[in-house]
Structure 1
Amino acid sequence: MSNVLAIAATTRTLRNLLLAQMPALDAELGDLEVTLQSPDVARKGISKAQLNLFLYQVVANAAWRNLDMPGQVRPGETAPPPLALNLHYVITAWGRGENDSDALSHRVLAAAMSTLHDRGVLDGNDIRNALPDNDLANQIERVRVTPLPQSVDELSRLWTAFQTNYRISAAYEAAVLLIDSQAAIRAPLPVLRRGPQDRGVIATASAAAVLDTLTYPRTQPAVRLGEDIVLGGRQLTTDHALARFSSLRLGAPIDIAPLAGDAAGSLRVHLADATDDADAASRWAPGIYTVALLVQPPGLPPLLSNELPLVLAPIITLSPLGAAAGDLALNLTCMPRLRDGQRVFLLFGDRLLVPQSINNPADTHQPSALVFQVPGVTAGTYTVRLRVDGADSIPVDFGGSVPAFASSQQVVVT
């Protein structure tokens, strides 16, 4: 690659090349002067034959922009690619003095174009001699000079930008310049071992499980502790499998070993309550979960299925279940226990109320205790539900021949 002198070295090399070769092509150009000025000021103070070489645009080279430098960046290493540039020049010719009736300017332009045609690849020695301390000649890619076709409209806009009268000219592109990036290369150490015990890549013959359905008991809108859910899908298995329940309210997911379902391609998962799990009150929290199937055979990487949403409804008790009309203080317990930051509301008939107090007993086996103030209650029977993070308690008794509202979830006001 090359250093930051690359642009200047290219321009100087082109000037030296034109100045040395053009007089040899045409004896009339012995007094030729090659300048590097903007076209609007290039002719000031000069009366002899002249060629002006002006760099008017620098663009990024798309092919090299995201390409690692061969031989410098190896697989596994990272380094910014070099700054790859294409240079656009315009060459403009003048004859002697102000009178150009002999069309000497045309001869100047023809000699310049012939020189660039014959020497389309810049010589390394010419580049080194053009500018001290430049190392453009050492880059992996040669600098090539090619004509840059331009339409009449493009030429018109170009000379309008120069703010001078148009003269016959030609555009060329010099490409590519590869300027070194100054950012550090990150080169990791060689690999000494491919995984534990140098086993290399582990491949499994089967894909991860896919969950398609999640069914609550008795077509409920949610599941409660002590009940089962049924997972349906593909590649489901009970071997080395765990149903993983995740929630933003929990510090870690809860894993439960599934059982085979009644139907093919299904699994049954039991959510233990305090009867089967003494820590159920503090292990869970009411609200919204995701459930996935994790399969991890011994010695192999784990495979995790997609996730399905799950609603865990709170289980509540009410006190009192009967009261006189007027203001009512209602006491509730909630299982599992509430967590800090959960959104809690009471649905009392058609009212939505916030708790007056929430208390989690020191004994983590005990449910959360809540107190609600219900003002101006008139006579009637009110079904009560507790809503936690969008999960409502289920006020339905499924013990009869048909579902009915549970009397334990109702307050009778007389």
Structure 2
Amino acid sequence: MSNFRAIATVTATLQRALQAAIQSDVAGATVSTVRPAEGTNTHLPTTGVNLYLYQVSQNPHRSNLDLPTRRSQGDLVQRPQIAIDLHYLLSFYGDDLSLEPQRLLGSTVAFLHSQPMITRTQIEAVIADPAKTFLAQSDLADQPELVRFTPLTISLEELSRLWSVLLQVQYVLSVAYKASVVLVERQLTPQPVLPARAINLSAIPLRQPFIRQIVADAGEDLPITSGAAIRIVGADLQGLATQVAIDNAQANTTAVTGDHITLNLPAALSAGPHRVQVLQGVQFDPASTPRLALKSNLGVFVLHPSITQTAGQPDIVISNVQGAGNAPRSAVVTIGVAPAVAQSQMLTLELLKLQQVLFTFAAAPRTDAAASLVFPISGVPAGDYLFRVRVDGAESALQLDANRVPVGPKGTIP
């Protein structure tokens, strides 16, 4: 980065480089760096170019690259730097009859287009110039990015406003250029960081675990139910200290290979959709515990609720039946489910004939997790129905016969 002399160094370097360029094109031309003015002793050239730094702006692309510079306690962690752009007005003086201003303009724009950057060699030559001892401590040459000059497109109205700032000064042929970027910083000493006690490096193949699907271990076509084992199918699943996280909680695995992982679902897992991720570790030190570093994509499975059974019969109790004859019935249906349903989960009861849903009812409000659910029903004709429960959209399975026709769980509305 550069110290406070950087701006002056840019101006002096451009002056020196431009002086060498225009002298070969227009004899006797010189380059000055003063404010445009009228009268005598203005130090403006009779024939030549005047560089006037009329504006400084913050560079929008590098303005925040050094953040943060201090800790919350105010301690300096790195030198604050400001990235700025310099706006120069280049004015051309000379004999209008021989078109010297226009020839100087052509020489200047041709030079800046052919060499849009000031080189480190040019900067070092200016710093070493005995006539410019005020730049002796400049370190612009050490800036990682070279300063580049680009022409600015200024309309006639903008140009007239610019010259109106220079009171009682007549306009002369001029162009504007921007020098970007200049990085300026104070020579502050940041507080040193704490030394590292040890450096551990480990190289491993870049193979990230990938989950293709999650199925019931008993069969891909079977629903995943509470307490069942699941199989995670994928690629590169076996690694150092492989772990499986279900909803960000670690689950115990029973078998791990490169293409599949099996595990028993935690008993407390609720019905509904769940996220699964495979994590693998990296061993930095043989004596330390591996650190988890690689993560797979997120896999999703649905844990289906089950209607519990007692002595081979579904736990379905129909009570408080209202209605007789051909009139529709109202009743209270109590169903045992596994796993227990949390208070915040959405519940519905479906009454079916074969696979057609005839009625749907919402559960009664609950104050806590429950394994026995209560559904008030109404407007249901008497008869036998298949019962199915949905928890957060996950449905309980129907019992199928050999022909895959639903036969249970079944209940009777008297």
Bin of the TM-score, shorter chain as denominator length: 0.5 to 0.7
2:275 aligned with 1:290: yes
294-303 or 337-346, larger mean C-alpha shift: 294-303
2:396 aligned with 1:393: yes
Deviation at 1:380, TM superposition (A): 3.6
- Relative distance call for 1:108 and 1:201 in structure 2 (3 A) is closer
Q: Is the 8 A contact 1:49 1:105 kept in 2?
A: no
Mind listing any 5+ residue stretches in structure 2 that lack a counterpart? Answer: 67-75, 116-120, 164-169, 309-314, 353-357
Q: Distance in 1 between matches of 2:386 and 2:228?
A: 23
- Relative distance call for 1:339 and 1:92 in structure 2 (3 A) is same
Could you give the per-residue CA deviations for residues 238-263 of structure 1, whole angstroms, max 9, x where no partner exists? 99765x35137xxx343232388xxx
Which residue of 289, 298, 307 maps to 1:316? 307
Deviation at 1:223, TM superposition (A): 0.7
Deviation at 1:83, TM superposition (A): 3.5
Deviation at 1:189, TM superposition (A): 1.9
Match of 1:36, SS state, is coil
Q: Is the 8 A contact 1:222 1:310 kept in 2?
A: no
Q: Distance in 2 between matches of 1:239 and 1:141?
A: 46
Q: How does 1:200-219 map to 2 (within 5 A)?
A: 200-204=200-204, 207=207, 209-216=209-216, 217=218, 219=220
Q: How does 1:323-402 map to 2 (within 5 A)?
A: 325-349=328-352, 350-358=358-366, 360=368, 368-397=371-400, 400-402=401-403
Equivalent position of 1:72 in the other structure:
none
CA-atom RMSD in angstroms:
5.5
Q: How does 1:6-25 map to 2 (within 5 A)?
A: 6-7=6-7
Q: How does 1:81-120 map to 2 (within 5 A)?
A: 82-94=81-93, 101=97
Q: How does 1:14-53 map to 2 (within 5 A)?
A: 35-37=34-36, 42-43=37-38, 52-53=50-51
Could you give the per-residue CA deviations for residues 376-399 of structure 1, whole angstroms, max 9, x where no partner exists? 2223433322222221111224xx
Deviation at 1:224, TM superposition (A): 0.9
Q: Distance in 2 between matches of 1:169 and 1:84?
A: 26
Q: Is the 8 A contact 2:341 2:371 kept in 1?
A: yes
Q: Distance in 2 between matches of 1:183 and 1:379?
A: 88
Amino acid in the other structure paired with 1:55: L
Equivalent position of 1:162 in the other structure:
159
Q: Distance in 1 between matches of 2:239 and 2:134?
A: 77
Q: Is the 8 A contact 2:237 2:256 kept in 1?
A: no
Equivalent position of 1:223 in the other structure:
224
Q: Distance in 1 between matches of 2:141 and 2:392?
A: 63
Q: Distance in 2 between matches of 1:183 and 1:347?
A: 74
Amino acid in the other structure paired with 1:93: F
Deviation at 1:6, TM superposition (A): 4.6
Q: Distance in 2 between matches of 1:245 and 1:18?
A: 67
Equivalent position of 1:71 in the other structure:
none
Q: Distance in 1 between matches of 2:305 and 2:297?
A: 26
Deviation at 1:36, TM superposition (A): 1.5
Which residue of 254, 259, 263 maps to 1:257? 254
Q: Is the 8 A contact 2:149 2:180 kept in 1?
A: no
Which residue of 187, 190, 196 maps to 1:191? 196
Match of 1:337, SS state, is strand
Q: TM-score, length-normalised on structure 1? A: 0.61
Q: Is the 8 A contact 2:17 2:122 kept in 1?
A: no
Could you give the per-residue CA deviations for residues 61-83 of structure 1, whole angstroms, max 9, x where no partner exists? 89998999xxxxxxxx9847844
Match of 1:375, SS state, is strand
Q: Distance in 2 between matches of 1:345 and 1:183?
A: 68
Q: Is the 8 A contact 2:215 2:301 kept in 1?
A: no
Deviation at 1:373, TM superposition (A): 1.2
Q: How does 1:116-127 map to 2 (within 5 A)?
A: 121=123, 123-124=126-127
Amino acid in the other structure paired with 1:92: S
- Relative distance call for 1:27 and 1:369 in structure 2 (3 A) is closer
Q: Is the 8 A contact 1:13 1:127 kept in 2?
A: no
Equivalent position of 2:71 in the other structure:
none
Q: Is the 8 A contact 1:49 1:104 kept in 2?
A: no
Q: Distance in 2 between matches of 1:308 and 1:215?
A: 11
Identity of aligned residues (%): 23
Equivalent position of 1:73 in the other structure:
none
Mind listing any 5+ residue stretches in structure 1 that lack a counterpart? Answer: 69-76, 195-199, 273-279, 362-366
Amino acid in the other structure paired with 2:224: V
Q: Is the 8 A contact 1:238 1:259 kept in 2?
A: no
Q: Distance in 2 between matches of 1:189 and 1:229?
A: 47
Could you give the per-residue CA deviations for residues 355-411 of structure 1, whole angstroms, max 9, x where no partner exists? 2132547xxxxx5232221122223433322222221111224xx43434343x333
- Relative distance call for 1:374 and 1:253 in structure 2 (3 A) is farther
Amino acid in the other structure paired with 1:316: I
Q: Is the 8 A contact 2:343 2:368 kept in 1?
A: no
